[in-house]
């Protein structure tokens, strides 16, 4: 099979992606105090004991469920362990803390974080009973592998509208989740420091083992994520550890060809530099030193020594996910994949929203070297209302849009693949991220408020947007059930093997064959890889 020629992600694009990702934390504390059951409170028995949830709108919700033991003390930098059972009934009506955050971006309550964070939330249609075998959405949040929390993604509306069960998880972040050091990896089964990915797999295994008690079908689990969460889906598609654990996958704004992860050797060098910055330079004492270090000291060291997610080249993730996919060496399942119309407006708005025409040209020249003249010819400032919009378009096309196309092409050669582009020019943005006078609609994360009871949208959806949100949920629900998102009475959604994309927008949805040409993907595929440059 001929491999696609995919351009290397530019240093500027990678920097902007890592800079902001998307998520803020607004969790509350977990609780495990026994409470008296009442007829109004749903009850479920899982492997560890009984859970008492609550009814919320038209859904039952079970919050703050431990899927692994707290990764603290001697369990820091170790694979997740089984959670301890409890006596009596565990209250499951409050969400757990977010995992420790490694990026100082958007936290509204810095105290609402903890290393004791390996919990998940489950949502189901109200009154669901064991044995109903409803399809399951397993959701992994984004945040550049260093920030975010699953608690922002309420699944009540999605569950009740589509007759599905929604599971949203926390996982270890930053260096607590991704640190490749022989002193930390030699004694685990995977010889891996990708503890965050191990957490996600442990949560998936817990879901597989327990979801029938909630009325879900363990044989109908769809793994799903956005941004870095989509990168985690890519890792699960390629990992031999997850074979047979899911039946479908959704990739939102995180195509596998774009989210390349570091090789083990590079990750180890980066991890050693981080350990030295954290005050643990000696290999013989490094494991003990890092396990006893304060979280604050680790976070301080991370500011100058960030991580890039799970490493490639161990028994957990032997190969780059996109390489595995193009070679056919992956966990083949139907895939739904897509992006937003102007993804990179988010990143440019948070870095250089008011750049001048001269700065636009300088940025392109610095970034693309010998290919800069061609980029400026394809994206002349005269075609845009501002340099901000021009640069946003360059970065959207060269990263998220065209990599979504290239990843979809590779997938569609092997499995049913359905491609979307979210395009609502009036979409809300993330609360706290607005830049006055800058249009950030349709940017990275714009679709999240349409699929979830999302806590971080800057404003509620309008009545017309709610109709779009309902259509999107029904598409997703159909895909969860059958691997085919088509819904009777809604716009037919063909597979992507013909180059078709379903444009999701206000008013109505439509099938387009112009996605690749609109985003100049043939141009970006032919452009020489940019020369190394310092990010702007």
Q: 227 catalytic, yes or no? A: yes
Q: Give the C-alpha separation, 97 to 115, whole Å.
A: 9
CA-based nearest residue to 100, from 71, 74, 78: 71
* DSSP element (H, E) containing 123: strand 119-125
How many CA within 13 A on the CB side of residue 438? 24
Determine the Cα–Cα distance for residues 43 and 172; give it in Å rounded to an integer.
Answer: 28
Return the SS3 of 403.
helix
CB 419, CB 515: distance < 8 Å: yes
For the stretch 439-474, what's the b/e string if a residue is b when 16 or more beta carbons lie within 10 angstroms of its beta carbon?
A: bbbbbbbbbbbbbbbbbbbeeebeeebeebbebbbb
Which residues share a beta bridge with 226? 252
Instruction: Please tell me the distance from the alpha carbon of residue 112 to that of residue 270, in angstroms, as a whole number.
Output: 29
77, 136 in Cβ contact below 8 A?
no
What is the chain's length? 536
Contact 165, 214 (CB under 8 A): yes
CA–CA distance, 153 with 165 (Å, rounded to integer): 13
With beta carbons less than 8 A apart as the criterion, state whether 178 and 106 touch.
no
H/E segment holding residue 322 = helix 321-326
**Alpha-carbon distance 311 to 235, whole Å?**
10
d(CA 7, CA 427): 30
Give the sign of the dihedral formed by CA 246, CA 223, CA 424, CA 17: negative
Spatial separation of the C-alpha atoms in residues 497 and 458, rounded to whole Å: 36
Whether the Cβ atoms of residue 504 and residue 423 lie closer than 8 Å to each other: yes
Burial of 75 (0-12, 13-18, 19+ CB in 10 A): middle
| Cα separations in angstroms, 295 against 58, 278, 331, 470 | 40, 10, 36, 41
Spatial contact of 334 and 223, defined as CB atoms under 8 Å apart: no
Chain centre distance of CA 35: 35
CA dist., res. 225 & res. 244, Å (int): 18
Alpha-carbon distance 195 to 173, whole Å? 9
Give me the catalytic one of 114, 164, 227, 230.
227
d(CA 21, CA 306): 13
- Which residues are designated catalytic? 227
């Amino acid at each position: 099979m001929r491999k696609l020629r995919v351009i290397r992600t530019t240093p500027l694009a990678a920097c902007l992606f890592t800079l902001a990702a998307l998520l803020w934390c607004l969790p509350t504390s977990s609780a495990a105090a026994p409470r008296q059951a009442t007829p109004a409170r749903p009850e479920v028995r899982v492997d560890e004991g009984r859970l008492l949830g609550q009814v919320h709108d038209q859904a039952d919700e079970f919050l703050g469920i431990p899927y692994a033991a707290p990764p603290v003390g001697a369990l820091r930098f170790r694979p997740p362990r089984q959670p301890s059972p409890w006596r009596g009934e565990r209250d499951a009506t409050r969400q757990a803390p977010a995992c420790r955050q490694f990026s100082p971006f958007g936290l509204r309550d810095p105290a609402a974080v903890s290393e004791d964070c390996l919990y998940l939330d489950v949502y189901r249609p109200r009154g669901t009973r064991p044995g109903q075998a409803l399809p399951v959405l397993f959701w992994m949040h984004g945040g550049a592998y260093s920030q975010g929390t699953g608690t922002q993604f309420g699944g009540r509306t999605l569950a009740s509208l589509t007759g599905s069960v929604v599971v949203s998880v926390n996982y270890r972040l930053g260096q607590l989740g991704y640190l490749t050091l022989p002193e930390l990896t030699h004694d685990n089964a995977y010889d891996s420091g990708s503890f965050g990915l191990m957490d996600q797999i442990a949560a998936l295994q817990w879901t597989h083992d327990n979801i029938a008690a909630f009325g879900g079908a363990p044989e109908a689990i769809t793994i799903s994520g956005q941004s870095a969460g989509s990168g985690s889906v890519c890792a699960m598609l390629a990992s031999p550890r997850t074979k047979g654990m899911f039946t479908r996958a959704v990739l939102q704004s995180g195509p596998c060809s774009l989210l390349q992860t570091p090789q083990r050797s590079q990750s180890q060098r980066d991890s050693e530099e981080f350990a030295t910055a954290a005050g643990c330079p000696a290999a013989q004492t490094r494991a003990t030193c890092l396990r006893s270090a304060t979280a604050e000291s680790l976070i301080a060291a991370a500011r100058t020594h960030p991580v890039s997610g799970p490493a490639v080249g161990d028994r957990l993730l032997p190969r780059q996910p996109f390489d595995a996919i193009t070679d056919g060496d992956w966990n083949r399942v139907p895939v739904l994949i897509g992006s937003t119309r102007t993804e990179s407006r988010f990143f440019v708005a948070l870095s250089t929203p008011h750049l001048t025409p001269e700065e636009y040209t300088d940025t392109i020249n610095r970034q693309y070297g010998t290919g800069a003249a061609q980029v400026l010819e394809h994206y002349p400032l005269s075609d845009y209302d501002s340099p901000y919009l021009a640069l946003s378009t360059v970065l959207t096309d060269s990263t998220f849009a065209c990599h979504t196309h290239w990843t979809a092409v590779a997938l569609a050669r092997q499995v049913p693949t359905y491609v979307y582009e979210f395009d609502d020019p009036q979409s809300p943005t993330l609360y706290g991220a607005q830049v006055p006078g800058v249009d950030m609609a349709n940017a990275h994360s714009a679709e999240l408020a349409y699929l979830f009871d999302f806590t971080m949208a800057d404003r509620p959806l309008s009545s017309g947007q709610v109709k779009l949100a309902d259509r999107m949920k029904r598409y997703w629900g159909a895909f969860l059930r059958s691997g085919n998102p088509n819904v009777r009475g809604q716009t037919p959604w063909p597979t992507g093997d013909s180059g078709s994309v379903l444009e999701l927008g206000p008013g109505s949805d439509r099938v387009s064959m112009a996605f690749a040409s609109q985003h100049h993907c043939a141009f970006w595929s032919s452009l020489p890889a940019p020369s190394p440059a310092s990010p702007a």
